[in-house]
Amino acid sequence: MRKLLLLTILFLSFAAIVQAQTKEVTGKVTDSTGAPLAGASVNIKGSRGGTSAGPDGTFRVTVPENATLIISAIGFAPREVSVRGVTTVSVQLLTGSSAMSEVVVTALGIRREKRALTNSQQTISADQLNKSGTGNPLGELEGKASGLTVINSTGDPGGGTYIRLRGATSITGNNQPLIVVDGVPIDNSINNFDATAPAGNSASGANGNLTGGQQPTNRGNDLNPNDIESINVLKGPAATALYGIQASSGAIIITTKKGGAGKRTAVSLNSSVTFDKVGMLPKLQNQWSQGSKGLYSPPEAGGSTSWGAAIDTLYWDGATDYPFDKHGNIVGKSSASAKTPVTPYDRYNNFFQTGLTYNNSIALSGGNDKSGYRLSLGNLSQTGIIPRAKYEKTTLSLSGQTKIGDRLSTSAGITYTNSTNYKIQQGSNISGVMLGLFRTPITFDNSNGYGKNGYKHKDAYEFPDGTQRDYRGGGGYDNPNWIVNNNPTHSDLDRVFGFGQADYAVNSWMTLTYRLGGDVYTQNDKTVYDLHSNASPAGALYLINYTNRQFNSDFIVNLHKNFSDDFGGSLILGHNYFTLSQNNVFTNGNGFNVKGFYDMSNAQSVQASEAQVRKRTMAFYADAELNYKKMLFLSITARDETSSTLPAANNNFFYPSVGLGWAFTELPGFKEDKHILSFGKLRASFAQVGKDAPIYALTTPFSNAVFSDGFTSGITFPANGSSGYQISSAIATVGNPTLKPERTNSYEGGLDLGFLNNRLTFNATYYYSKSTDGILPVSIPFSTGFAGELLNATTITNKGLELTLDGTPVQTSYGLRWNVIVNWSRNVSKVVALYPGITSFFMGGFGAGEAGIFAVPGQPFGVIYGSTTPHSDLTNLKSPLLIDDRTSSTTYAQPLSGGVGPNQVIGNPNPDWIGSVISNLSYKGFAFGFQIDVRHGGALWNGTRGALANKGTAGETSNRYQTTTFKGLLGHLDANGNVVHNDANSVEKPGPGATNTVASTFTQNYWQSTGNSFGGGQETDIENGGFTRIRQMSLSYELPKALLGKTPFTALSLTVFANNLHVWTKYDGVDPETSLGGPSNVQGLDYFNNPNTKSYGLRLNVGF
C-alpha cells in the first residue's frame, strides 16, 4: 500500500505542474534526390505518439510545442527535427546503416534512441527475416544477432526451436528468453509427451528429459513471420530488468507490422514455395548383409546386426512365397537355388521424400488521418522429408490504432492461429523412425519393392494378419513405413493472443499507458501406438489436452522532461500483474480390440489424469533516464515483484539495474569533425534479476500412485478397484517451504563506434554474470524415502564477449550497395557449485553409465558425462588409450572394452564461439544475399554412430577384416582396476607399457566391444560438433517503381533462395544442429535424431 501511495503522490505532483500546449505540424520526407519517402516513420521524441508519411512523403502530426520529431525510414539514417516555433518542416534523409540515433523498442514497449542505451541490444528488421519462407519465426533468428544461440531440433515440419541468449543460469529452470509481441509476453512452452519414457518422466518444459517420443514443438512457432516488423534482442539482464522474472534470460521483443494512419489502402501479398531435401545423414555401409560372424541370417531369425556375409557372395532364389523379400530367400552363391545376385537396397532413397512448403500471406492495411489498421491472413502448408509428416498453420491477424481527440490514442491487435501437425516418432524409442531405418540391413527392403512409395502400401510394412514386416521378423524396431502410418501423433492447436492499449497524453511531458494482453490456447495431442507396434504391442492411445491462459496487465506513467537544452530526463512508473493458468488433461487407453481404429472406445482400459498449474506475479517498477548534452546517459531501473510460487513469508523481492553511457564523440575535439569517427560511446551497466521457484514446490503432497521399474511400464492407480495415493516414488522430490528466489548479478560493459558517417559501425560487449541460489532438486539417497529435495543450491557464472560489425563497403551513386554484418560471440559458462557433497547432477539424456547431460562443479553448463574407455592414465582422457597386451584376451592388440575407467566428463557441448557473416549486395532492383554461420567447437555425443557401428550398418564398419595397428600404450587393468602391463615373462608390472606395435584387425568383436559407445566407453562417440554452413542464399529482383507506374502494383519482387545449402563439418552423425533433447536445457545428444533439411525455394512479394 505504501508503494502505491508513493506512486500516486508522485503522479499527482508531476501532473499538477504543467499542462502542455499542442500544435499541428505538417511536413514532407524526401531522400537525397528529393523523391518522396512513402511510409517514413515520424515519431515524437520521448513519447509514443507519431505517424507515418503518406505515399507522397507528407505527414501531419499533432505535437506538443517545442517537440522534437524523429524521422526514420528503413535504409536511411534517422534524423531529429525540432519543431520549436514552426508548423511545417521538410526533412531529407540520407542513406546509411544502423545509425545511432535510430529508435528501438526496448523493454515494456518503451521506445528509446539507440544512442541512449546503456546495455546491449540488437535489432533485426523484417527485411533481414523472411528470406526463406520457412514460417518459423524463431528459427529464422539464427545467426542474426551476436550472443544468440538458436538450435532447431529437427527439420521436421513444426519442429521445435531452442533459443538462448548468452549462457544458461538455471540448471532446472527455463533459460530461454521471454518472447514479447507488441508489449505482451506470449507463451513459448514445449508441451510434449513421451509415451516411451518411464512413468512420471516429463518430456515437457525446460527440464524435460526428452529421449524418445515425437519431435517437440515450441509454441513460439505459432507466429506468422510475415506479420513481424522488427525484432529487438535484449541480450542481458541490464536490458530486461524491467520485465522481472520472466525475462531473466533476456527477451525477444517482437513488433508487428501496423497499418499507418494516413496511408492509403494497400495490399501486400507474399507467396513462397520451398522444396525440402533431406540434409546430412550418417554414412552407412553398403557391402555386408544381415547376420553375424560373416554368416547371413534372414529377417525371420530376428537378429539385429549386419555382420553377415559380403553381399557379392549372396543370391536370391526367386521364391515368390517368401514374405520378407519379393526376390525370394537369400542363399549362397554355390546354392543350387541361387538365381540372381543380391543387390543392396537403398535405405535412404527408398524412404525420404521431397518436402513441400507453401507459405502464403496476404495483408491489407490502410487508414485515415486518425486511424490505421492492418489485417493479414497467413497460411503455411508443409510436408516433410519423412513421409506423412505434415504441418499446417493458418494465422489471422488484425491490428489497428486510432486517435480520439488530441490526447487519447488507442491500439489493439489480435492474432488467431490454428495449426495441425502430424508428427513422427523419433529418438531412443523402438518406434523411433530413424532407429528402424538406419539399422536396417542392406539385404532388407523396408519398402518391399515400392521404393519411395513404401509408406503408401500396407504390404510393405505389415503382413495380412496385421503383424509387422520388419527386418527382425516383426520384433525389434518398427519398420519406418509402419511408424509413419501406424504410430502417428497429431497435434492440433487453436490460439488467440493480442493486446489492447490506451495512451493518454496528459500534457507534453506525461503519458499514461494501460496495456492488457492475453494469450490463450488449447493444444490437443493424440499419440497412437497401433496394435503390434513394438513399443506397445497391445496398442496404446494417448490423448493430451493442454489449455494455457495467461494475461498480462501493465499500467505505465511515462514522464519525460527536458529541463534545459542540455539536460533531460524521463521517468517511467509502472505496475504489472501477470497470471498464468494451465489445465492439462491426460487420457491413456491401453490394449486395442481393433487394429487401425484410433479411438478411445477401442481401448480395453482407460486411465485419465489432470494437472492444473497456476501462477500469479505482481510488480511495481520504475525506470529513470537522465541525459546530459546528448553525451551522458544514466539509466536506473527498479522492480519490486511478488510471486505466488515462493513461500508467503518470503515471496517479495526487489531488483535494480543501473547503466551509464558516455557518448564521448560529443566532447570537443570529436564533435567538430565526425566524418571519420562519427559516433563513439562507452557504456557500463549492472543489473540484478531473479527467478522464482517452480510452481507447487513448497510442499510434499500425496499424488496418484504410479510406479515402474525400467523394464515394465508398471502400475498406475486406480488399480484393482481402488484409488491409491503416494507421498513418494522413485522420482519424488521433497518440497521446501523455505525456498528463496534464484538471483543473477550481471555486469556488462561495451563500446559502440560509428565511422564514416556511420557507414561502418562496431559494437562490442563484455559481460559477466553470477547466478546464485539456483534451485536444484538435490539427489538424496532413496533410503531417505525420497529421490531428492529442492534446495537453493547452485552457483553458475557466465562471461562472454559479443561483437557486431555492420558496414557498407560499397555504396555508389548509381545504386550499387554492399552491406555486410558480422556477428561473433563467445560465452564461457561455469557451474561453480552445486549443493555441498553433490558432485554431479543429472539434467537429462541417458543416465550416468551412459551418455547424459550433467551439471558438474567446476565445469561448463550441461556437460556430457559418461563412461570412458581405459586410458593409460585412467582419469586423463588425453592420455593414450590402453591397448590390450594379454594374448589370450578377445581384445588382444585392441583398445580395452569401455566402462572400466571412471565415469567422468567426456565432452562440453557449449561451442567455443559462434559467428555469422551476412552479406547483402544490391544493385538497382537486384539483391543478392547470403549468410554463413560458424559454430566452432562444442562436443556432441554421437550415439547414432555408436549404435550403427555396433550393429554393423555404419559406413566405417566397411573396414571389417582390414588390419590396423591401434594407437596406444600396451597394458590392461588388473583385478583391482589398476593400469598394469605384462613384461616379457607375462608378469604384471604397474603402469602402462610400450607403444603398441602389434597389428590387429577390425573385427566384429572390435566394433561391438571397444569401437563404439555401445560396448566401449561413451567417450568413444564424443565428436566435435563444430560446423560452417551456408545458412541462406537468396537472389531477388524487384521491379523498378517506374515500370510499375502504369500497373496497379506498387511493388513486385521475386526471390529465389536456398537454406542450409551446404555444411562443412567433421561430425558424422545426423546433422550437428539437430538435438535429441529438443528445445530444452539438454543439448549435445544425437541419438537417431530426425534429420535436418536443405531447401530451395521461390518467393513472390506483391504490393498493390
Partner 1 sequence: MKLLHKIAFLFLISGLLITSSCKKSFFTDVNVNPNVLTTVSPNLLLPTVEAALAYTQGGDISRYSALLMQQMYGANSQSQQYYQYNFNPGNFDNLWPDLYTSTLENNYTLIKISDAGGYNGYSGISRIIMAYALQVSVDLWGDLPYSQAFQGNVSGGSLHPTYDKAAALYDSASKLIDAGIVFLSAANQGTITPSTDDVIYGGDAAKWIKFGHAIKARLALHQSKGSTTMASTALSEIAQSFTSNAESAQYIFGTQETSANTWYQFYRDRPGDENFKSSSLAIQLKASGDPRYPFYNMDSTDSKGNRTSYFNVINAPVEFITYDELLFMSAEATLRVSGDLAAAQTLFQAAITADLTKLGVPQATITAYVAANGTLTGTADAAIAKVAAQEYIALFLNPETWVLWRRTGSPALTTTSPGSEIPRRLLYPQTEINFNGANVPANVTLYSPKIFWDN
Residues 649-668 that bind partner 1 (CB under 8 A): 651
Instruction: Confirm or reject binding of residue 786 to partner 1 (CB under 8 A).
Output: yes
Q: Which stretch binds partner 1 (CB under 8 A): 109-117, 630-638, 696-704, 916-924?
A: 696-704
Helix (H, G, I), strand (E, B) or coil at 836: coil
- Please, what is the minimum distance in Å from the beta carbon of residue 513 to partner 1? 12
Residues 332-391 that bind partner 1 (CB under 8 A): none
Residues 464-493 that bind partner 1 (CB under 8 A): 475
Residues 15-74 that bind partner 1 (CB under 8 A): 15, 19
Task: Write the binding mask 278 to 317 for partner 1: x where contact by CB under 8 A, - elsewhere.
Answer: ------------------------x---------------
Residue 790's beta-bridge partner residues? Answer: 777
Instruction: Confirm or reject binding of residue 719 to partner 1 (CB under 8 A).
Output: yes
Taking CB under 8 A as the criterion, the residue among 68, 354, 381, 703 binding partner 1 is: 703
Taking CB under 8 A as the criterion, the residue among 88, 265, 784, 978 binding partner 1 is: 784
Q: Which stretch binds partner 1 (CB under 8 A): 559-567, 713-721, 890-898, 928-936?
A: 713-721
- What torsion do the CA atoms of 460, 466, 469, 472 make, to the nearest 10 degrees? 170
Taking CB under 8 A as the criterion, the residue among 81, 105, 148, 512 binding partner 1 is: 512
Whose cell is 529541463? That residue is 563
Taking CB under 8 A as the criterion, the residue among 29, 69, 73, 787 binding partner 1 is: 787
Q: Which stretch binds partner 1 (CB under 8 A): 202-210, 345-353, 607-615, 1002-1010?
A: 607-615
| Measured distance CA(139)–CA(1075) in Å, rounded | 14
- Please, what is the minimum distance in Å from the beta carbon of residue 968 to partner 1? 25
Residues 733-762 that bind partner 1 (CB under 8 A): 734-735
- Please, what is the minimum distance in Å from the beta carbon of residue 1013 to partner 1? 16
Would residue 200 be called left, alpha or beta, if left means φ above 0 and alpha means ψ between -120 and 50 degrees? left
Instruction: Confirm or reject binding of residue 608 to partner 1 (CB under 8 A).
Output: no
Instruction: Confirm or reject binding of residue 87 to partner 1 (CB under 8 A).
Output: no
Instruction: Confirm or reject binding of residue 597 to partner 1 (CB under 8 A).
Output: no
| Measured distance CA(356)–CA(277) in Å, rounded | 9
How many other CB atoms are found less than 10 A from the CB of residue 364?
16
b/e code 291-318 from CB counts within 10 Å (16+ = b)? bbeeebbbbeeebbbbbbbebeebbbbe
Q: Which stretch binds partner 1 (CB under 8 A): 101-109, 663-671, 740-748, 785-793?
A: 785-793
Provide the pairing of β-strand 94-95 with 1022-1024.
Answer: unpaired
Instruction: Confirm or reject binding of residue 766 to partner 1 (CB under 8 A).
Output: no
Taking CB under 8 A as the criterion, the residue among 20, 626, 780, 1054 binding partner 1 is: 780
Would residue 405 be called left, alpha or beta, if left means φ above 0 and alpha means ψ between -120 and 50 degrees? left
Query: What cell does 587 get?
Result: 487420457
CA–CA–CA angle 358, 362, 363 (5° rounding) = 150
Is there a cis peptide before residue 718, judged by omega within 30 degrees of 0? yes
| Measured distance CA(822)–CA(932) in Å, rounded | 10
Taking CB under 8 A as the criterion, the residue among 320, 722, 813, 888 binding partner 1 is: 722
- Please, what is the minimum distance in Å from the beta carbon of residue 715 to partner 1? 5
792, HSE (Cβ side, Cα atoms, 13 Å): 16
Q: Which stretch binds partner 1 (CB under 8 A): 139-147, 218-226, 708-716, 1074-1082?
A: 708-716
Taking CB under 8 A as the criterion, the residue among 189, 359, 635, 779 binding partner 1 is: 779
Would you say the C-alpha torsion 108, 111, 117, 120 has a positive or negative sign?
A: positive
760, HSE (Cβ side, Cα atoms, 13 Å): 8
Residues 676-695 that bind partner 1 (CB under 8 A): 695
For 987-1024, give the DSSP string.
Answer: -EEES--SBP---EE--HHHHHHTSSTTTS-GGGGEEE
Which parts of 918-1076 fold into alpha helices (H)? 943-951, 1004-1009, 1041-1044
Instruction: Confirm or reject binding of residue 713 to partner 1 (CB under 8 A).
Output: yes
- Please, what is the minimum distance in Å from the beta carbon of residue 791 to partner 1? 11
Q: Which stretch binds partner 1 (CB under 8 A): 83-91, 207-215, 438-446, 717-725?
A: 717-725
- Please, what is the minimum distance in Å from the beta carbon of residue 813 to partner 1? 53
Instruction: Confirm or reject binding of residue 4 to partner 1 (CB under 8 A).
Output: yes
- What torsion do the CA atoms of 641, 645, 646, 652 make, to the nearest 10 degrees? 10
Instruction: Confirm or reject binding of residue 10 to partner 1 (CB under 8 A).
Output: no
Taking CB under 8 A as the criterion, the residue among 75, 449, 466, 591 binding partner 1 is: 591
Nearer residue to partner 1 within complex by CB, 121 or 550:
550
Instruction: Confirm or reject binding of residue 609 to partner 1 (CB under 8 A).
Output: yes
Instruction: Confirm or reject binding of residue 720 to partner 1 (CB under 8 A).
Output: yes
How many other CB atoms are found less than 10 A from the CB of residue 15?
15
Residues 1054-1073 that bind partner 1 (CB under 8 A): none
Helix (H, G, I), strand (E, B) or coil at 10: helix
Instruction: Confirm or reject binding of residue 555 to partner 1 (CB under 8 A).
Output: yes
- Please, what is the minimum distance in Å from the beta carbon of residue 590 to partner 1? 4
b/e code 577-615 from CB counts within 10 Å (16+ = b)? ebbbebebebbbbbbbeebeebeeebbeeebeeeeeeeb
Instruction: Confirm or reject binding of residue 1086 to partner 1 (CB under 8 A).
Output: no
Cα distances from 1031 to residues 148, 223, 936, 1096, in angstroms, run 15, 21, 15, 12
- Please, what is the minimum distance in Å from the beta carbon of residue 708 to partner 1? 8
Instruction: Confirm or reject binding of residue 721 to partner 1 (CB under 8 A).
Output: yes
Taking CB under 8 A as the criterion, the residue among 588, 635, 798, 1093 binding partner 1 is: 588
Taking CB under 8 A as the criterion, the residue among 58, 607, 879, 919 binding partner 1 is: 607
Nearer residue to partner 1 within complex by CB, 83 or 693:
693
Instruction: Confirm or reject binding of residue 848 to partner 1 (CB under 8 A).
Output: yes
Phi, psi of 5 (to 5 degrees): -55, -45
| Measured distance CA(750)–CA(752) in Å, rounded | 7
Phi, psi of 870 (to 5 degrees): -60, 125
Taking CB under 8 A as the criterion, the residue among 33, 320, 564, 712 binding partner 1 is: 712
Instruction: Confirm or reject binding of residue 990 to partner 1 (CB under 8 A).
Output: no
What is the maximum span of the chain, computed from C-alpha positions, in angstroms? 107
Instruction: Confirm or reject binding of residue 537 to partner 1 (CB under 8 A).
Output: yes
Burial (CB < 10 A; 0-12, 13-18, 19+), residue 562, is middle
Nearer residue to partner 1 within complex by CB, 451 or 714:
714
Whose cell is 521471454? That residue is 178
Residues 611-650 that bind partner 1 (CB under 8 A): 611-612, 614-616, 618, 642-645, 648
Instruction: Confirm or reject binding of residue 709 to partner 1 (CB under 8 A).
Output: yes
Nearer residue to partner 1 within complex by CB, 473 or 925:
473
Nearer residue to partner 1 within complex by CB, 251 or 603:
603
Nearest to 44 by CA among 60, 64, 29, 27: 64
Instruction: Confirm or reject binding of residue 1 to partner 1 (CB under 8 A).
Output: yes
Taking CB under 8 A as the criterion, the residue among 604, 875, 876, 890 binding partner 1 is: 604
| Measured distance CA(158)–CA(220) in Å, rounded | 11
- Please, what is the minimum distance in Å from the beta carbon of residue 350 to partner 1? 28
Q: Which stretch binds partner 1 (CB under 8 A): 585-593, 981-989, 1005-1013, 1051-1059?
A: 585-593
Taking CB under 8 A as the criterion, the residue among 34, 668, 669, 781 binding partner 1 is: 781
Query: What cell does 1055 get?
Result: 526471390
